[in-house]
Amino acid sequence: MQFGIFSVSDITTDPTTGHTPTEAERIKDIVTIAKHAEEVGLDVFALGEHHNEPFFSSSPTTTLAYIAAQTSTLQLSTATTLITTNDPVKIAEDFAMLQHLADGRVDLTLGRGNTGPVYPWFGKDIRAGIPLAIENYALLHKLWREHTVDWKGKYRTPLQSFTSTPRPLDEIPPFVWHGSIRSPEIAEQAAFYGDGFFANHIFWPASHTQRMIALYRERWAHYGHGDPDTAIVGLGGQVFMAKNSQDAVKQFRPYFDNAPVYGHGPAMEDFTRETPLTVGSPQEVIDRTLGFRDYVGDYQRQLFLMDHAGLPLKTVLEQLDLLGSEVVPVLRKEFANLKPAHVPDAPTHASLLAAKSSSEVSVA
Amino acid sequence: MNQRSLVVISAGLSQPSSTRLLADRLSAAAVDQAASLGVDLTVRVVELRDVAHDLMNHMLTGFPPAALKDVIDAVSAADGIIAVTPVFNASFSGLFKSFFDILDKDTLADKPVLIAATGGTARHSLALEHALRPMFAYLRAVTMPTSVFAATDDWGGSEDLLHSRVNRAAGELAREISRREPAVVTDPFALTASFADLLGA
């Protein structure tokens, strides 16, 4: 099982000090955070894509390539890459390029993006969100698998004799996760292609995530990829820890109360009850996270949101220390003990390369 | 007797409120009239006051807390609705509007709704026609022709007039519910098109 962190790249004023980091500070901080994720033993770093303030991450592959150059084991991913407003040709090229530079330590999570004003900036219509996600991914899928592509669709210029360069590393496309909070069509899309499904998880009640994952697993089996429990599932999570539970609550409350998404809304106690947010001791985080398995089954990737809502860099790095030293080692062991042998791990470039080599050997 | 469900939405703020009083009169009359048509109406009364914080939290977070989710589910599954608001500033109250703002757009489509309101004087009564009725038309609800307004005076002396309006409106609602098939709740997770259709769209 893979453990890691994901960032939405918000630039938010620290409500306890009034300090707002500059874009330059925050961008350098995210590199430090990603490197520290590897240092503390995490597996994955995923970065969001936004094209509006107060977010900085408009160009995730640039940032991820820079991080790749300074890390050696960290799997680089996105949370999410906008499959609706980006040209699928550019996604194909950017991520193949990143694969080569990062020696294959790359996968990506596709999302539609729910910020209405962004669509027209890229010449798109949010009302066509689902059809755009379906058509654009069909093209992306093809560009990574066929050398010369002829293609015609509704939403972009036709392609004749087009080759996306560079070709995917070792002719193995990056593994794709499809992310969605509430659209069953996207769970269906992930199942159709035999790709992974990533549930954001953190903004909605568990019962909702449970239904989406169940649908994805059922359709995964329907399309002949294997039993439902062999589908590839990722979950988001959100934690804030201190050795002593009450200290965590006290330290995190001002950040919760002023957070961009849910701030000035529900009480932290209500939100922790309704959603996976856990504010408490490392043991509480362990117990809660193990409990996710009760409603989604054995799953392959757990990412935590750690740097947001104006938390200062020092605090984020301390949180990563706790995650790496006290939480993840226990979760690794416990999840591994619970997982039946036939449930696969999340595909990586290395595992896909090994599978490809062995199938070529068996054909020969 | 056929079983059908009625959800009564009351946006009164004080307890007891005249809005709730009117809501109870209407639902009791609807139950009686439905019974005479062979329909056993089960009634659930929702005081929006009880989910007021949840409504605002839903607007801010995008999902309903458990107690509000339960109310939304009941409304979705209801065979009929009675919606009663106090008149504030010549319209429905903000709390009343907030509840209907967070419903999914199809929740009330083709659902029988009886609208009613309360206010200090009868001069507020047309708020039903210029504020509530257009909103429910927009939501594609089947709004009963008779709407019921109760002013402070109506709770005083002779209440014949209010009584007859209550009965007429409740009768319209009972007949509308009894002549319909039970409400069908659509599953938000159900796929409405095959993936091949989506790809070919």
Angle between helices A206-222 and A282-296 (to 10 degrees): 40
Q: Look at chain B and count its residues.
A: 201
Structure tokens at A46: 């995923």
**Is the CA virtual torsion A45, A46, A49, A55 positive or negative?**
negative
A vs B: CB pairs below 8 A? 55
Interface of A with B in 271-290 (CB under 8 A): 271, 274
How far is it, in rounded angstroms, from Cα B48 to Cα A161?
Answer: 61
Nearest CA in chain A to B53: A266
Give the model confidence (pLDDT) of B119-152 as tens digits: 999 999 999 999 999 999 999 999 999 999 999 9
pLDDT score at A281: 98
Is A204's Cβ below 8 Å from some Cβ in B?
A: yes
Q: Which CATH class is domain B2-200?
A: alpha beta
Q: Are A319 and A241 in contact (CB under 8 A)?
A: yes
A247: closest CA among A276, A272, A269, A280?
Answer: A280
Mean pLDDT computed over A358-362: 82
Locate the chain B residue with the closest alpha carbon to A201. B63
Q: Chain B contacts of A265, Cβ < 8 Å?
A: 56-57, 60-61
Interface test with B, best of A201, A238, A274 (most B CBs within 10 A): A274
- Is B195 at the interface with chain A, CB within 8 A? yes
Neighbours of A217 (CB within 10 A): 22
Give me the residue spans of the domains in chain B.
Answer: 2-200
> Is A155 near chain B, with CB under 8 Å?
no
Q: Which of residues 54-73 of B touch A (CB under 8 A)?
A: 56-57, 60-63, 65-66, 69
Strands (E), B48-111: 80-88, 91-92
Beta-carbon count within 10 A of A136 CB: 25
From chain B, pick out residues whose CB is under 8 angstroms from the CB of A189: 195, 198
Average pLDDT over residues A326-334: 98
Provide the mean pLDDT of chain B. 95
Strands A196-199, A175-179: pairing is: parallel
Domains and their CATH numbers in chain A: 2-363 (3.20.20.30)
Model confidence band, residue A150 (pLDDT cutoffs 50, 70, 90):
very high
State whether B60 and A138 contact (CB < 8 Å). no
pLDDT of residue A363: 64
Is residue B200 within 8 angstroms of chain A, CB to CB? no
Cβ(A9)–Cβ(A48) under 8 Å?
yes
Do residue B195 and residue A188 have CB atoms under 8 angstroms apart?
yes
Question: Is A222's Cβ below 8 Å from some Cβ in B?
Answer: no
pLDDT tens, A258-291?
998 889 999 999 999 999 999 999 999 999 999 9
The predicted complex's ipTM stands at 0.84
User: CB–CB of A243/A281 below 8 Å?
Assistant: yes
Instruction: Give tens-digit pLDDT for A61-91.
Output: 999 999 999 999 999 999 999 999 999 999 9
Q: Is the pLDDT of residue B38 over 60?
A: yes
- pLDDT at residue B159 in the model: 60
User: In chain B, which residue's Cα lies nearest the Cα of A128?
Assistant: B201
Residues of chain A contacting residue B198, judged by C-beta atoms under 8 Å apart = 130-131, 134, 185, 188-189
**Residue of chain B minimizing CA distance to A213:** B189
Q: What is the pTM of this model?
A: 0.93
Contact between residue B113 and residue B136 where contact means Cβ atoms under 8 Å apart: yes
Looking at the partner chain, which of B60, B65, B190 has a beta carbon nearest the beta carbon of A274?
B65
